[in-house]
């Protein structure tokens, strides 16, 4: 399959194939094949006609470039595809050609073909999310007691553990995965309504054909056609936006932890991965960059889809025409983020020694909060805060430890001895509920998470 360089950072290879010309054509023809088969089974069209339609519905017989050109004139790719199919059937069996696409309309083809593509895409995305769950769980368990700086507003805060950080990533990603699976299950239904959603051309057999068609395609069968009711797809698109945002947050954290000044974690390396064209020393966070780029594009794409939901009457002008490129871009961005995070977390290098070094280089100021909780009861909160604020300034300017500076303050030494001051800087004593929170976040995650 030929790919466009401009889209090389917008999709995975597998998802690019799902939305390739050949794949889309195959999905549209699968709809036509299933429709003819079901209608012949129910006596709506002759069996011989269905056989002729099946024989003609070979993707190799269609010119996708020509279909693309004609789609711009027709307003949908399904119209020129149906016309081409009818010509091919007619060349084999003139009488059978009248029964191709019987009772359906162009949007039935387009929407149901999209559902077939989305089903394939979900399997690919969910497999990568399963890899993410497994990798993040392993990281959390391996580093349950790897103490590191907590960071707020990009500044050093009291300590946390990398195990808790990884568990937080996992929990958000897992919620996104569950939300995505639910919205996919609701969205994957056939669209089959005929001209205005009544299937009038099929008489009293419309509902039966719809049920059989859904079963044949292994899709859900909605209560009624949904031509201009796009809420199911809208929920799916929003779920993609939320999930990709969560994956982007993981990527943002990893990219910041990879900075030279921090150097606590590193994406996996490999030939051509993360290199610079001019600076051989660099190890760029490429997986993070690709994921953040996907998350950056996503809000606009989601907004575009939601805007297109306001569709008039039984068929819209412009709304449905905007959807295919938008949905394809959303799904591919989601899949790209999932694959990138899976690869990153499976090969993530964690430098616990550097985490410890970064803690020590704060010279104890991150424990000012801890010191204030000890001193406030004796000195009052306001006085304790003032003393510690002044002490922290001296630590920063004189490059001494907080314990050393506090030991010189008579107000402090009346309350604490030197052993107590030194104990303030023991990070393991100021982790609070970190481990219990970590365990709770992992509680519902089996070690071999797979799609249900």
What residues are paired with 270 via a beta bridge? Answer: 273
315 is a catalytic site residue: yes
In the predicted structure, residue 58 carries a pLDDT above the cut 70: yes
Q: How far is CA 154 from CA 13, 149, 157, 256, 449, in A?
A: 35, 11, 9, 9, 33
In the predicted structure, residue 255 carries a pLDDT above the cut 90: yes
Asked whether the CA dihedral 406, 410, 415, 419 is positive or negative, the reply is positive
Which residue has tokens 């309350």?
415
Q: What is the pLDDT of residues 280-327, one digit of tens each?
A: 555 789 999 999 999 999 999 999 999 999 999 998 898 888 899 999
Contact 149, 222 (CB under 8 A): no
CA 85 to CA 295: how far, in whole Å? Answer: 40
CA 205 to CA 201: how far, in whole Å? Answer: 9
With H, G, I as helix, E, B as strand and everything else as coil, classify residue 151.
strand
Contact 190, 220 (CB under 8 A): yes
- The DSSP output letter for 267 is P
What's the maximum distance between 2 C-alpha atoms anywhere in the chain? 104
The separation between CA 221 and the C-alpha centre of its own chain, rounded to angstroms, equals 26
Among the listed residues 151, 211, 273, 315, the single catalytic one is 315
CA 350 to CA 341: how far, in whole Å? Answer: 15
- The DSSP output letter for 10 is S
Contact 254, 288 (CB under 8 A): yes
Average model confidence (pLDDT) for the chain? 92
Quote the Cα angle for 179-184-189, to 5°.
150
Q: How far is CA 434 from CA 144, 250, 324, 424, in A?
A: 9, 19, 45, 18
CA 249 to CA 193: how far, in whole Å? Answer: 42
CA 401 to CA 353: how far, in whole Å? Answer: 20
Contact 416, 430 (CB under 8 A): no
Q: What is the pLDDT of residues 185-238, one digit of tens each?
A: 999 999 999 999 999 999 999 999 999 999 999 999 999 999 999 999 999 999
Predicted pLDDT of residue 414: 84
> In residues, how long is the chain?
452
CA 37 to CA 442: how far, in whole Å? Answer: 48
Q: What is the pLDDT of residues 242-254, one digit of tens each?
A: 999 999 999 999 9
For residue 73, give both structure tokens: 């004139």
Q: How far is CA 27 from CA 79, 119, 125, 162, 273, in A?
A: 14, 11, 19, 45, 35
- β-strand pairing of 349-350 with 155-161: unpaired
Confidence at 445, pLDDT banded by 50, 70, 90: low
What residues are paired with 156 via a beta bridge? Answer: 151
Axis crossing angle, helix 368-379 with helix 381-398, rounded to the nearest 10: 140
Q: How far is CA 311 from CA 60, 242, 315, in A?
A: 35, 24, 7
Contact 441, 161 (CB under 8 A): no
CA 72 to CA 84: how far, in whole Å? Answer: 15
Asked whether the CA dihedral 331, 332, 335, 341 is positive or negative, the reply is negative
Confidence at 274, pLDDT banded by 50, 70, 90: low
Rg over CA atoms, the chain: 30
Q: Please report which residue ranges of 218-318 form alpha helices under DSSP H.
A: 231-257, 286-308
CA 348 to CA 164: how far, in whole Å? Answer: 16
Among the listed residues 8, 68, 269, 276, the single catalytic one is 276
For the chain, list the domains and their CATH numbers: 1-104+206-217 (1.10.275.10), 105-191+226-361+431-452 (1.20.200.10), 365-424 (1.10.40.30)
| Claim: this prediction has a pTM higher than 0.95 | no
The more confidently predicted of residues 156 and 445 is 156
For residue 249, give both structure tokens: 């947050």
Predicted pLDDT of residue 446: 54
């Amino acid at each position: 399959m030929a790919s466009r360089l401009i889209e090389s950072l917008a999709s995975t290879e597998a998802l690019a194939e799902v939305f390739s010309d050949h794949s889309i054509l195959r999905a549209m023809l699968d709809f036509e094949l299933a429709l003819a088969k079901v209608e012949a089974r129910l006596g709506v069209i002759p069996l011989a006609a269905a056989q002729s339609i099946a024989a003609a519905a070979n993707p190799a017989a269609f010119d996708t470039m020509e279909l693309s050109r004609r789609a711009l004139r027709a307003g949908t790719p399904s119209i020129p595809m149906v016309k081409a199919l009818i010509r091919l059937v007619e060349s084999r069996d003139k009488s059978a050609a009248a029964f191709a696409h019987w009772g359906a309309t162009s949007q039935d083809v387009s929407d149901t073909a999209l559902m077939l593509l989305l089903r394939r895409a979900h399997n690919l995305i969910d497999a990568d999310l399963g890899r993410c769950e497994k990798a993040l769980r392993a990281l959390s368990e391996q580093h349950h007691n790897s103490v590191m700086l907590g960071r707020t507003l990009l500044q050093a805060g009291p300590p946390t553990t990398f195990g808790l950080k990884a568990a937080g990533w996992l929990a958000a990603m897992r919620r996104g995965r569950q939300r995505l699976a639910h919205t996919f299950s609701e969205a994957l239904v056939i669209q089959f309504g005929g001209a205005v959603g009544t299937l009038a051309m099929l008489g009293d057999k419309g509902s039966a054909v719809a049920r059989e068609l859904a079963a044949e395609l292994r899709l859900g069968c909605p209560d009624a056609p949904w031509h201009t009711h796009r809420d199911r797809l809208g929920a799916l698109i929003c779920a993609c936006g939320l999930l990709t945002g969560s994956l982007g947050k993981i990527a943002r954290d990893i990219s910041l932890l990879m900075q030279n000044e921090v150097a606590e974690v590193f994406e996996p390396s490999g030939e051509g991965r993360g290199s610079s064209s001019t600076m051989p020393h660099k190890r760029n966070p490429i997986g993070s960059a690709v994921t953040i780029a996907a998350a950056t594009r996503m809000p606009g794409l989601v907004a575009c889809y939601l805007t297109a939901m306001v569709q008039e009457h039984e068929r819209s002008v412009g709304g449905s025409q905007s959807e295919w490129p938008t949905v394809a871009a959303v799904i591919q961005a989601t899949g790209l983020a999932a694959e990138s995070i899976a690869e990153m977390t499976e090969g993530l290098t964690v430098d616990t020694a550097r985490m410890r070094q970064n803690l020590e280089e704060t010279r104890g100021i991150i424990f000012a909060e801890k010191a204030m909780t000890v001193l406030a009861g004796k000195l009052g909160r306001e006085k304790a805060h003032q003393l510690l604020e002044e002490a922290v300034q001296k630590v920063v300017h004189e490059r001494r430890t907080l314990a050393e500076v506090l030991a010189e303050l008579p107000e402090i030494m009346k309350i604490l001895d030197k052993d107590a001051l030194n104990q303030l800087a023991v990070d393991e004593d100021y982790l609070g509920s970190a481990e219990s929170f970590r365990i709770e976040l992992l509680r519902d995650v089996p070690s071999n998470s797979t799609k249900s």
